[in-house]
Structure 1
């Protein structure tokens, strides 16, 4: 699983998510994950919180990639959200987060999970792409930018 289009669809994007803090964000991500997977939001929330206790998934530049492994998933799935107001996330650079890419994987997806994390983090390191993601106004535009980063970074 090496391409973002295998991880995300237009329906797995929120271009204007509102969350007051990290706890509220994780609750909304869990609800979105439940909608996409059919798994209980409470289990997704517990999975995200458990992973976050190991260390912040905010990797800097206003970006976070919360992720976790849980039973009941057919493969790695993603959900992207642009927050309408940045929130404190305890990121490594202490900057507030406004772009979030949720990844959920089955427990036995070791290599696929790591490849997906690497692919997402590579795509979200491109400063030009990040600026465009922050300026995009629709789910379709965000999807095109996320999938378009594959070809930019592969060249």
Structure 2
């Protein structure tokens, strides 16, 4: 099983209609990422914001991968699909509606970079992104992710 498949296995997915700003998005991400962990909301939020100040985590096509290194034993991931794109940076060209958020262990830089690269490659597929955007429920999104994971397993 590839690293991306492993992360998709543990990923929670959510669909939101009420997130209208990057600030609100990051607050929701911090809230979701601290579930079942010993991390605090403020620590996760602070680390996500600190990483974002180094450079935008927007990768194009309406996709962003906010992420940070933090004291976790294993990668934690959340996928959010937004009903409306939000302004993700000062540039109006950077508007996101698909969010892959990651918390990665501090000591494993190679895993972190490989995972970001794998997600970026997955998001190069316009048909896959369009399919994801069309789904209305968290159950449909989860099934779509599971199908993607299964297809990845068959092709490897």
Fold in common (TM above 0.5): yes
Matched, 1:84 2:54: no
Aligned to 1:28: 28
Structure-2 change in CA distance of 1:101 and 1:11 (3 Å) = closer
Give, in whole Å, the separation in 2 of the partners of 1:134 and 1:4.
Answer: 20
Secondary structure of the residue that 1:102 maps to in structure 2?
strand
Deviations 1:92-131 (A, max 9, x none): 8823110000011010111111121111111122111101
Deviations 1:44-97 (A, max 9, x none): 0011001000111011111100000001x1111210000122100028882311
Give, in whole Å, the separation in 2 of the partners of 1:75 and 1:114.
Answer: 14
Q: How many residues align?
A: 154
Q: Report the RMSD for the aligned CA atoms in angstroms.
A: 2.4
Structure-2 change in CA distance of 1:87 and 1:93 (3 Å) = closer
Give, in whole Å, the separation in 1 of the partners of 2:93 and 2:7.
Answer: 28
> Is the 1:123–1:146 Cα contact (8 Å) retained in structure 2?
no
Q: Which runs of 5+ in 2 are unaligned?
A: none
Matched, 1:115 2:114: yes
Aligned to 1:49: 49
Give, in whole Å, the separation in 2 of the partners of 1:105 and 1:31.
Answer: 16
Q: TM-score, normalised by structure 1?
A: 0.87
Aligned to 1:101: 100
Give, in whole Å, the separation in 2 of the partners of 1:62 and 1:105.
Answer: 23
1:119-134 alignment runs, 5 A limit? 119-134=118-133
Q: TM-score, normalised by structure 2?
A: 0.86
